[in-house]
Amino acid sequence: MKPYPVATELLAPVLWAAMPRAVGSAPFLTHFLPGRGRTENHPREVTGIEDFDWEEYYVWGPGSPKEYERLKKHQPSYRDRFELMAIERDVVSEWMLFGGEDIAAHVRRKSDGKEFYLGLAELKTVDRRSPSYQLLDDYAVFFTNYR
C-alpha cells in the first residue's frame, strides 16, 4: 500500500519542479490551482493548523480570555470549523498571514455562517482520512519552507 493518497502523488512532481521558483509565482499556482472555484477534490471541512496571527496575543501572550472570546465572535479562530467553499488566486485578506503570497481559501464558519478568506497554508482538513489531508499538509510545509 502506498503511503500517500493519489492526489499527493500528482502534486509531488509539481512541488519539486517549482521549488527553485517562488511559491507565489504564476507557474506554480497554475499547476497547483488550474482553475477557480470548488472541485470534488477540495476538502469539505477545514480548521486552522495553529493559532491565527491575531490570536497569538491571546493564546500565548497576556491577552484577556474574556476579550479573546468576544473577538472570536467576529474574527476567524484556528479552533473554528469551516466549510471550504473555494480556493482563489489574487485575493488578499486581513486574515491571511502571508497575504499576497499564499493562495486564498474562501471559507464559511460552520457555527454562524460568517465568510472569510484565509491562507490555504494555514489550514488543515478536519478528517485525517480525507485524500486532501496529506495534500494540504504538503502544501503548507512546502509553502512555509520554500516561499
Is it the case that residue 144 has pLDDT exceeding 50?
A: yes
Q: How confident is the model over 19-30, as a mean pLDDT? A: 44
Q: What angle do CA 117, 118, 121 make, to 5 degrees?
A: 145
Q: Does the reported pTM lie above 0.75? A: no
Residue 146 phi/psi, 5-degree rounding, is -125, 20
Q: How distant, in Å, are the alpha carbons of 47, 52, 78, 91, 126 from that of 29?
A: 22, 23, 25, 13, 24
**Per-residue pLDDT tens digits for 64-76:** 999 999 999 999 9
Q: How confident is the model over 110-127, as a mean pLDDT? A: 95
Percent of the chain with pLDDT over 90: 44
H or E segment and range at residue 15: helix 6-18
Identify the residue with better confidence: 128 or 6: 128
